[in-house]
Structure 1
């Protein structure tokens, strides 16, 4: 794999530049003298597996369709907790199981692992400030699982990544859409303002709970 020829910090830097929308694959390839196909591979694997993919001993666990359906059916039976199911079926993360459940219950097609990574959505959709706040909140609560947030809200991985980074740097102001004229918070309806305030309170409560743990 081309990962091991380059320092981890270097690869993360280029992935970050692409995901933030600062550089296209073409521009990165030209500036850093790396073929576009290699850059695309890095981004695709990072989107699917996160930073764990940079470990030299990384090997994603593969599950058959039958194994996935069995795990989902065990979950839906209500006889097991998530932790019990993860141990029983040797699933590395709860979000993996929950994605299978979501696909199964929405009549999606569950396939064997290792038959090609699903293509991340590249076309975005219009979102409101409130939606972006909700997506960022969901992503942070799920330990920055950008892929899960993108799939859950049907937006692109790249947009989720950008929104989270902008929120961390600038707060809600960073989530304002600057393309064309969009509603400022002063122009929001009473209901929209109320929902935003609820989100603020929830985040503040989360922060206080986290502080009280130490």
Structure 2
């Protein structure tokens, strides 16, 4: 079974329902097969970038940008998740 694709609007709907307490994590796991880390990444990206966090599409990152992100991580500016959210990086392995 492949990973379910969500529209940006659906992601925001899920985030807002989860944050408001209307939907529990276990319900998201049962209905959508989501794990806790995924919903937390969505929340961080949404809080940092709004709906743009989910509509950017595929992007390529320059070597310089990647080095900049690594340097921020190594200097303790933020966790990997913080930096991914800050720069709206769509794929943690990019």
**Structure-2-length-normalised TM-score:** 0.57
- The C-alpha deviation readout for 1:162-205, integer Å capped at 9, x for no partner, is xxxxxxxxxxxxxxxxxxxxxxxxxxxxxxxxxxxxxxxxxxxx
Instruction: Give the RMSD, CA atoms, in angstroms.
Output: 3.4
Greater Rg over alpha carbons, structure:
1
How many pairs align? Answer: 79
Unaligned segments of structure 2, at least 5 residues? 85-91
Higher relative contact order (CA 8 A, sep 6+): 2
Q: How does 1:20-169 map to 2 (within 5 A)?
A: 59-88=2-31, 90-108=32-50, 109-111=52-54, 115-116=57-58, 119=61, 122-123=66-67, 124-125=70-71, 127-128=74-75, 131=76, 149-152=79-82, 154=83
Deviation at 1:118, TM superposition (A): 7.0
Separation in structure 2 between the aligned mates of residue 60 and residue 85 of structure 1, nearest angstrom = 14
Secondary structure in structure 2 of the residue aligned to 1:76: helix
Closer, same or farther: CA 92–80 of 1 in aligned 2, 3 Å: closer
Shift in CA distance, 98/117, structure 1 to aligned 2, threshold 3 Å: farther
Q: Contact 2:28–2:34 (CA<8 Å) still a contact in 1?
A: no
Contact 1:65 1:111 in 2 (8 A): yes
CA distance in 2, matches of 1:70, 1:86: 15
Name stretches of at least 5 consecutive residues in structure 1 with no aligned partner. Answer: 1-56, 136-148, 159-214
CA contact (8 A) 2:15 2:39 kept: yes
Q: 1:82 to 1:111 in 2, by over 3 A?
A: same
In 2, distance between residues paired with 1:107 and 1:101? Answer: 10
Runs of 4+ in 1 over 3 A off after TM superposition: 117-121
Contact 1:82 1:94 (8 Å CA) reproduced: yes
TM-score by length of 1: 0.29
